[in-house]
Homo-oligomer: A and B are copies of this chain.
Amino acid sequence: MNGAESLARTLAASGVTVAFTNPGTSEMHFVAALDRVAEMRCVLALFEGVVSGAADGYARMVEKPACTLFHLGPGFGNGIANMHNARRANVPIVNIVGEHATYHKRYDAPLNSNIEMLAGQYSAWLRTSARAADVARDGAEAVAAARQPPGRIATLILPADTAWSDGGKVAGRVPVTAAPPPAAATVAQAAKMLRGEVPTAIVLNGNGMFGRGLTAAGKVAAATGATLFSPYSTPRIERGAGLPSVERVPYVVEQAVERLKPFRQMILVGAPAPVTFFAYPNKSSVPTPPDCEIYPLARPGEDYVGALEALADAVGASHTEPTRQRAERPVVPTGAITLPGLAQAVAALLPEHAIIADESVTSGRGMMAASRGAPPHDWLTNTGGSIGIGMPLAVGAAIACPDRPVLCLEADGSGMYTPQSLWTMAREKLNITTVIFSNRAYAILKGEYANVGAGNMGPRALDMLEIGRPDLDWLSLAKGMGVPGRRATDLDQFVMALRAGFSESGPKLIEVTL
């Protein structure tokens, strides 16, 4: 057995059964091995940003890694923007990056580059296999490293000769160390803080925002009056009717300052302390009140669910009923397109157990508020601020959860970084409804231009922030990649298109012209 086959079999045996790929010459033996490892589902993308973003979306939903397949340094390079987001999401991913044969490196052939330096920026674990006999063991260790809580990026660089040479031998699973719970004293201190009269925010992260973790957080909130938050950049929030409510800290500095103003205590569960997304002249980088005590209950890599359950116990809330969001849906809207109207339509029609991949930026700011009482669903957002993640996330989520409808809310500017996602949606017949908010601008930058005090905008600056001239025609783009689309010029059309998207199988695109 060659090294490549030993790796593919080892990955599958370790529970890695989905590969998002964009291969080249140096990866051909790994590709060949896929024909002999039926357990591995291979999903091709036409651009590597789709690969990395899809691996992220997949991991957010199933809490285990997919593997990727990249072609040398430039292939990994194309995946970097969404790898940056995935690193911030703390998701498990196993990257396989093909490399020149060990003996070919010294010739510095055109595609040669320093993959270790490049991938090292994004990888908690990094190794270059030295020989075919090591590849499987390296792969098993990569999987274990990726699964190390809270979820990490592990990158295995695979020189072509280690893939094609004989001597490979399938390796067994490498055990993963469970996330340690916080110390009892730490939990006791947080409980003490919560028992006082001081207004307290609890900022959740990772698996503290869904399932058992969310239930425990909801009990604590119900018993103590604490308010549950997530960072603005948040990987996954389970929400909707019957679930405890978790608010995102707002993006806009003034709004974040205003929202956090009441709190004098903040307990962090795997989340970083809030900071502003960017710096702005004469504004603080920290939106929390200066006298707010910030207390980490669980640090990244510790057991968030255990911490929240221990905290519930410590505040005597183990049997408390969590505060649950009331089921409430707006009526189906009609009339002219408005941003509130679009949010209302989504909230009115969202199916149960939908997954929302949200990169709607300025256009979708009212979406979460409107849909808070919709049937239970998961909301995924951009975790690292690198745009072009929405459609790739949707691809990954749809592969992870084939029985759940996926709604992708995508800004037109952001969507153009990874439009190739649509092709993979079509090829894999994924149940994704993509809504493109066509405002023909980097609208967020128009706000930011003012926020950073850049003065009055002249015509040439404006030209860098508007993406009309020519207008993008998303129906044509989607058609070009095999995804049927509809244009919505009023809310009635939007509602009709959304209903069709949710009820018919396969991908759909809706362009909303704003």
Which residues of A does B touch, CB under 8 Å? 21, 23-26, 28-29, 31-32, 34-36, 42, 44, 46-47, 49, 73-75, 77-78, 80-81, 84-85, 88, 100-101, 103-104, 107-111, 113-114, 117-118, 120-121, 160-161, 164, 232-233, 272, 275-279, 281, 285-286, 383-386, 388, 413, 416-417, 419-420, 423, 426-427, 444-445, 448-449, 451-455, 457-461, 463-465, 467, 469-482
Contacts and interface: CB of A to CB of B under 8 A. Distances in A.
A460 B35 contact: yes
Contacts of A476: 476-477, 479-480
A285 B32 contact: no
Given A160-B452, A281-B164, A275 B35 contact: no
A104 to B, nearest CB: 4
B452 A107 contact: no
Contacts of A277: 25, 109-111
A254 to B, nearest CB: 15
Given A384-B111, A445-B23, A279 B419 contact: no
A49 to B, nearest CB: 7
A31 B84 contact: no
Given A286-B107, A423-B472, A32 B417 contact: no
Given A385-B111, A470-B427, A474-B480, A29 B464 contact: no
Nearest to A426: B470
B35 A458 contact: yes
Nearest to A114: B121
A275 B107 contact: yes
B31 A108 contact: no
Nearest to A475: B480
A54 to B, nearest CB: 15
A286 B108 CA distance: 12
Contacts of A445: 23-25, 28
B111 A28 contact: no
B385 A110 contact: yes
Contact of A276 (B74, B85, B109, B465): B109
Q: What are the 8 tightest A-B residue pairs by CB atom distance, in nearest-first order? A: A470-B482, A35-B458, A77-B80, A74-B386, A476-B480, A477-B480, A104-B279, A101-B279
A32 B84 CA distance: 28
Given A109-B276, A164-B281, A74 B384 contact: yes
Nearest to A104: B279
Contact of A275 (B44, B46, B109): B109
10 contacts: A46-B417, A84-B113, A100-B279, A101-B279, A104-B279, A109-B385, A110-B384, A117-B117, A161-B281, A478-B480
A110 B84 CA distance: 9
A81 B77 contact: yes
Given A44-B464, A104-B279, A121-B118, A28 B449 contact: yes
Contacts of A36: 458
Nearest to A412: B46
Given A35-B459, A78-B80, A480-B472, A110 B454 contact: no
B28 A454 contact: yes
Contacts of A419: 419-420
Contacts of A107: 275-276, 285-286
A461 B31 contact: yes
A475 B477 CA distance: 9
Contact of A481 (B35, B85, B472): B472
Nearest to A444: B25
A25 B448 contact: yes
Contact of A278 (B80, B100, B385): B100
A369 B36 CA distance: 42
A275 to B, nearest CB: 4
B46 A233 contact: no
Nearest to A483: B470
Given A103-B285, A111-B384, 5 more contacts: A34-B458, A84-B113, A107-B285, A110-B383, A473-B479
A423 B472 CA distance: 8
Contacts of A25: 277-278, 444-445, 448, 451-452
B117 A29 contact: no
A117 B121 contact: yes
Among A35, A107, A463, A478, find the residue whose CB has the most chain B CB atoms closer than 10 A: A35
A458 B28 CA distance: 12
Contacts of A416: 46-47, 420, 423
A104 B80 CA distance: 22
